[in-house]
Amino acid sequence: MNNSLIIGQYVPGNSIVHRLDPRTKITIIFFFVFIVFFANNLPSYAILVAFAFASMFASKVPIRFILKGLTPVWFLIIFTFLLHLFVTKEGTLVFDLWIFKFYSGGVIRGIAIAIRFFLLILVTSLLTLTTTPIEITDAIEDMLGPLKKIKFPVHELALMMSISLRFIPTLMQETDKISRAQASRGVDFRTGPIKDRIKAVIPLLVPLFVSAFKRAEELAMAMEARGYQGGEGRSKLRELKIEKMDIFVYIIFIVVIILLFVTRTYG
């Protein structure tokens, strides 16, 4: 089994973006997703692009990882661009050949939408590239904290997430083992018609589920034996702390928002 298995797409590093409090990152990305839709002219887009690229360079994540994160959405970006190109009939005719009639309005709008998509994907993938899943879990637990007042099981949810993350590699190793064991007994996972291959998954899934339930039961007992009695009165080893750097980044982001609203055209 592959020993260098990485959960999610986290790229280890020690850059400013890596060291930021995960809550800061999540908050900023949350608001960034909103303000992207307020940009409507060249300067406002320039500000957003500058912010996104600045964060990208500050993270020191190699460009190829970021491009890899973009691959599944290239199609969507190009598709929406073309859609706008064909459908929008505004502005002057810039290109006319047989049924291809492109208007300047369509070109501009197509590019604008493509940039929006690109920025959204870029910034959100920066979060997963620079933050470990466990940090994200901690941040979510902390940020949902107020919901405890309305009896929302925040701690339980976070614990579930972190235990699932911890068991992903274990279950993958197990899947690998079972699939080999079944292959040695003549189950064919790789050839034959689709229908047969789907059927071949059953002897893989059943033992996997059985063992997952057994694991869960044993884990529950081990946790209880170690004194687990719910979130009440628990202390935490990992702690989140807002540092000067976080405040600095918040200020920059607020400046970006102000600049955006100053530069965008109204009416």
Partner 1 sequence: MAGNLIEFKDVSFRYSEQDPWVLKNVTFTIKEDEWVAIIGHNGSGKSTIAKLINGLLFPQEGEILIGGKKVTEDSIWDIRKDVGMVFQNPDNQFVGATVQDDVAFGMENRGITREVMVERIQSTLEAVGMSDYQFTEPHRLSGGQKQRVAIAGVLAISPRVLILDEATAMLDPNGRKEIMQTVSQLQSKQGLALITITHDLQEVVQANRVIVMNKGEVWKESVPREIFTEKEELRKIGLDVPFVTTLADALKDIGVSISKEPLNHEELLEELWTLHLRT
Provide the binding-site residues for partner 1, judged by CB under 8 A: 3, 5, 134, 162-163, 165-166, 169-170, 173, 214-215, 218-219, 221-229, 233-239
CA–CA distance, 212 with 22 (Å, rounded to integer): 31
Residue with smaller CB distance to partner 1, 14 or 235 = 235
Contact assessment for residue 126 and residue 61, using Cβ atoms and an 8 Å cutoff: yes
CB of 145 to partner 1, least distance (A): 17
Confirm if 197 and 210 have CB atoms less than 8 A apart: no
Burial class from Cβ neighbours inside 10 Å (0-12, 13-18, 19+) for residue 151 reads: exposed
Q: Residue written as tokens 């789907």?
A: 198
Q: Using CA atoms, how far apart are residues 122 and 69, in angstroms rounded to an integer?
A: 8
Q: In this complex, which beta carbon is closest to partner 1, that of residue 218 or of residue 243? A: 218
> Which is nearer to partner 1, 4 or 191 (by Cβ)?
4
CB of residue 225 to partner 1, shortest distance in Å: 5
Q: Which is nearer to partner 1, 96 or 156 (CB)?
A: 156
The whole-angstrom separation of Cα 24 and Cα 17 is 10
The minimum distance between CB 233 and partner 1, in angstroms, equals 5
Q: Shortest gap between Cβ of 133 and partner 1 (angstroms)?
A: 8
